[in-house]
Chains A and B, each alone.
Chain A
Amino acid sequence: MEAAAGSAGLAKYAWVIALLPLLSAPLILFFGKRTPGRGWTYGVASVGAAFVLSLGVLWNFVTGGGTHASAIDWFQIGSLHMTLGQYVDGLTAVMLVAVTAVSLCVHIYSIGYMHGDSRFTWFYVVLSIFTAAMLNVVIADNLFQLLVGWEVMGVCSYLLIGHWWEEHVNSSSAIKAFITTRIGDVPFMFGIFVLIAATGFTTSNIQEIGHLIGGGEMARGVVSIAALLLFGGAIGKSAQFPLHVWLPDAMVGPTPVSALIHAATMVAAGVYMVGRTYEVFINADPWVLQFVGVIGVITAVGAGLLGLVQDDIKRVLAYSTVSQLGYMITLMSAGPAGRNAAFFHLFTHAFFKALLFLGSGSVIHACHTNNMSEMGGMRKPMPITFWTFLVGSLALAGVPPLAGFFSKDELLVALEHDNQMVLFVLLLASAAVTAFYTARMVLQTFFGEYRGHGHPHESPVTMTGPLVFLAGATVSVGLLGAAQTGAPFFDWVFFEEPEHITFVPWVAALSVAAAVLGILGGWTVYREWRERDPIAILRGYTLLSKKYYLDEIYWRGIIRPVRDDVAAFVYWTNQRVLDGAVNGVAWVTRLFSRGVRTFDEEVIDGAVNGLGQTVGFTGGLLRYLQSGNVQRYAAFLFAGVVILAVIFTRI
């Protein structure tokens, strides 16, 4: 209890964790280039401090610190108070640790990986901003604040994917990622608006909205619409079908970026958001959750199959990530146990997928190519990378006792418990597929003979260090949620009530069987390198290699019509209708102005001048009377007298 008392107040300062990287960003930007290391020192220091603080917050929670919520006023619009706040419960604490741990690894790893890059300092600036935004999403207590972090992440993702923008494909992929996720963000934003509107514009606080919905204060239809709209955000950000197409293309970015953003944090934000706003989903109509589950399982299976046919090692991992995110989304629809399991998988996946990405980056760094066809035999020159990568791969495949096995096992148990047998079978099959392509990836990269032309060597310690750390995490974090260790994870992160994890032997056996089957299958097919992929003879290979023609469909069905026809129409409208209207108005105005000018010059000036001329003319006539001759004046005088006399005598 000594430690608990010592760190009791730490949850209050969770916001500092998010603030640290935000502060380091301008430091790196303005002073980075002048300090030794060109800026990584600030980034690593701030994220390191954030990691230590996160551990403190988690420890505080584990030792009975409880949930903490606090907020300060941000601004007010009418009755709507916007706050900047933090909501720290077990889920937040666990996410903080996962995010800062991966971010710290990526920061350290990038010292080696990005060494000599011309925009090295800028890379660290964006990395810092990204980390801050993700941490903000994690601690945010209200939807509006969450949205801010959410969008900033999108921008940072865009900047980092396009980090090497000199090549056209990189900037195109960055644009693709940004626009595709935005297609999900728009419904997400409207979902937030709907929820805020449904509270009568009083609050955007997630907990308060949850209470209102739980108390039946909102109409079911409204809640369903809000849930669907919010889920749109998750589809975009967490790369779910049919918006998953951006994630594989995002792999053109630097590999540390892929590890941080496209494996461990940003793509997890969608799942995290669905978990945070869970009250909205469970109080919606049942078909909304079914829809969530269907989307998740389509993604899990579909993306897993796509992973089979990729040659780019990062694309294999990308599809694997999409597939694993599909698992999590699927499980969000499968009762409280499913949600818990989904978050455990999210937690473990963050570590082993970051490990795999960083490992692949290490290989890419050595071979100067992403293509596995130009790798091979990397086991010998890079032993540390090989062993750590192997740990990550086995975890991904679901081999006990690594993290992936436990979390995948919890998923299956939860599905079985919820009686979702269709999903159970599909995800089990997908697990076998996962193991298959994982085996293929490892065999093609690390075994056989080297097929490239370089001289690969082991990466520097700044890169292998994070690999070893993450490998250690991959081995250990799974135990946090294992039934055999009492599953403390589920005492920290739970929906409704702490769950007692049960070990179901037959499910575990099936899970292991699927993994072993997949690995053995991969071993059989890919034991020896063949120029032509052996599975290319199978039916459906073309469909997979064309990525289900989705990009084609988007290109033909949406992008090209929009670019050519809609744009042409808009251009025409702009040129003819809008410009015409503007020019017409200008023409009418000119005509009118000319009329006004004529009126002014002719009529008004004419009247004034005419008056002046009349007066002048009359004066000119009259002035002859004033001759200066006194006697003539006197004559007028007398004439006047005579006239007056005549008039008066008449009267």
Chain B
Amino acid sequence: MIRLPLVLFFSAALFSIGVYGVLARRNAVLVLMSIELMLNAVNVNLIGFSQLWRDLTGQVFALFVIAVAAAEVGIGLAIVILVYRNRETINLDEVNLLKW
């Protein structure tokens, strides 16, 4: 039986690594992967509290998040491929059309 603080620390570390990846990486694929890390950090939290409260709702919700994450990655990768086809790069610094 893993103790809850341990779970929370792990989750927080995982989330922080994700944030770092999202903000610091230039490669779009790695940014997408970092987002997966953040989502999974949330999943860890959900399951940890589900076990604490003996309530399955948290685990069900984690399953939903996994499903949504799969869909999100599907769409995200598709966008990355299209961007690559159009601009010959997936460096996020160069994909900066979303501005004034």
- With both beta carbons as reference points, the residue of chain A lying nearest to B24 in the complex is identified as A631
Q: In the assembled complex, which residues on chain B have CB atoms less than 8 Å from the CB atom of A78?
A: none
Cα-based distance from A629 to B26 in the complex (angstroms): 11
Q: Which of A628, A631, A638 lies in contact with B97, CB distance below 8 A?
A: A628
Q: In the assembled complex, which residues on chain B have CB atoms less than 8 Å from the CB atom of A532?
A: none
Contact pattern, A 446-490, Cβ under 8 Å of B = 1, otherwise 0: 000000000000000000000000000000000000000000000
Cα-based distance from A108 to B1 in the complex (angstroms): 149
Q: How far is the CB of A619 from chain B (nearest CB, A)?
A: 9
Contact B93 A629 (CB under 8 A): yes
Contact pattern, A 607-651, Cβ under 8 Å of B = 1, otherwise 0: 000000000000000010011111101110010000000000000
- With both beta carbons as reference points, the residue of chain B lying nearest to A620 in the complex is identified as B100
- With both beta carbons as reference points, the residue of chain A lying nearest to B19 in the complex is identified as A638
Q: In the assembled complex, which residues on chain A have CB atoms less than 8 Å from the CB atom of B19?
A: 638
Contact B23 A638 (CB under 8 A): yes
Contact pattern, A 261-273, Cβ under 8 Å of B = 1, otherwise 0: 0000000000000
Determine whether B98 belongs to the interface, using a CB cutoff of 8 Å to chain A.
yes
Give the contacts of A13-49 with B (CB-CB under 8 A): none
Q: In the assembled complex, which residues on chain A have CB atoms less than 8 Å from the CB atom of B23?
A: 631, 634-635, 638
Determine whether B46 belongs to the interface, using a CB cutoff of 8 Å to chain A.
no
Q: Which of A623, A628, A635 lies in contact with B96, CB distance below 8 A?
A: A628
Contact A630 B95 (CB under 8 A): yes
A-B contacts counted at CB < 8 A amount to: 28
User: With A631-B22, A631-B23, A634-B23 in contact, do A626 and B99 touch (Cβ < 8 Å)?
Assistant: yes
Q: In the assembled complex, which residues on chain A have CB atoms less than 8 Å from the CB atom of B22?
A: 631, 634
Determine whether B71 belongs to the interface, using a CB cutoff of 8 Å to chain A.
no
Cα-based distance from A634 to B99 in the complex (angstroms): 14
Binding site for B on A (CB under 8 A): 623, 626-631, 633-635, 638
User: With A638-B19, A638-B23 in contact, do A631 and B92 touch (Cβ < 8 Å)?
Assistant: yes
Q: Determine chain A's interface SS by DSSP, over half rule.
A: helix
Q: Which of B24, B92, B100 lies in contact with A630, CB distance below 8 A?
A: B92
Cα-based distance from A505 to B36 in the complex (angstroms): 154
Cα-based distance from A635 to B31 in the complex (angstroms): 13
Q: In the assembled complex, which residues on chain B have CB atoms less than 8 Å from the CB atom of A631?
A: 22-24, 31, 92
Contact B95 A626 (CB under 8 A): no
22 pairs, CB–CB < 8 Å, chain A vs chain B: A623-B100, A626-B99, A626-B100, A627-B96, A628-B96, A628-B97, A628-B99, A629-B92, A629-B93, A629-B96, A629-B99, A630-B95, A630-B96, A631-B22, A631-B23, A631-B24, A631-B92, A634-B22, A634-B23, A635-B23, A638-B19, A638-B23
Cα-based distance from A631 to B22 in the complex (angstroms): 7
Q: How far is the CB of A174 from chain B (nearest CB, A)?
A: 89
Q: In the assembled complex, which residues on chain A have CB atoms less than 8 Å from the CB atom of B98?
A: 628, 630, 633
Cα-based distance from A631 to B100 in the complex (angstroms): 16
Q: In the assembled complex, which residues on chain A have CB atoms less than 8 Å from the CB atom of B31?
A: 631
Contact pattern, B 19-33, Cβ under 8 Å of A = 1, otherwise 0: 100111000000100
Q: In the assembled complex, which residues on chain B have CB atoms less than 8 Å from the CB atom of A628?
A: 96-99
Q: In the assembled complex, which residues on chain A have CB atoms less than 8 Å from the CB atom of B24?
A: 631
Q: In the assembled complex, which residues on chain A have CB atoms less than 8 Å from the CB atom of B100?
A: 623, 626
Q: How far is the CB of A231 from chain B (nearest CB, A)?
A: 97
> What are the nearest 5 A-B pairs in CB distance?
A628-B99, A628-B96, A623-B100, A626-B99, A628-B98
Besides the known contacts A626-B99, A628-B96, A630-B95, 6 further A-B residue pairs in the complex with CB atoms under 8 A apart:
A626-B100, A630-B98, A631-B23, A633-B98, A634-B23, A635-B23
Cα-based distance from A499 to B23 in the complex (angstroms): 136
Which of A626, A628, A633, A635 has the most B CB atoms < 10 Å from its CB? A628
- With both beta carbons as reference points, the residue of chain B lying nearest to A630 in the complex is identified as B92
Contact pattern, B 74-100, Cβ under 8 Å of A = 1, otherwise 0: 000000000000000000110111111
Q: How far is the CB of B95 from chain A (nearest CB, A)?
A: 7
Q: In the assembled complex, which residues on chain B have CB atoms less than 8 Å from the CB atom of A629?
A: 92-93, 96, 99
Q: In the assembled complex, which residues on chain B have CB atoms less than 8 Å from the CB atom of A638?
A: 19, 23
Q: In the assembled complex, which residues on chain A have CB atoms less than 8 Å from the CB atom of B97?
A: 628
Q: In the assembled complex, which residues on chain B have CB atoms less than 8 Å from the CB atom of A634?
A: 22-23
Cα-based distance from A515 to B19 in the complex (angstroms): 146
Give the contacts of B27-52 with A (CB-CB under 8 A): 31
Cα-based distance from A630 to B28 in the complex (angstroms): 10
Q: How far is the CB of B80 from chain A (nearest CB, A)?
A: 12
- With both beta carbons as reference points, the residue of chain B lying nearest to A622 in the complex is identified as B100
Cα-based distance from A635 to B92 in the complex (angstroms): 14
- With both beta carbons as reference points, the residue of chain A lying nearest to B28 in the complex is identified as A630
Q: How far is the CB of A342 from chain B (nearest CB, A)?
A: 108
Contact B95 A627 (CB under 8 A): no
- With both beta carbons as reference points, the residue of chain A lying nearest to B31 in the complex is identified as A631
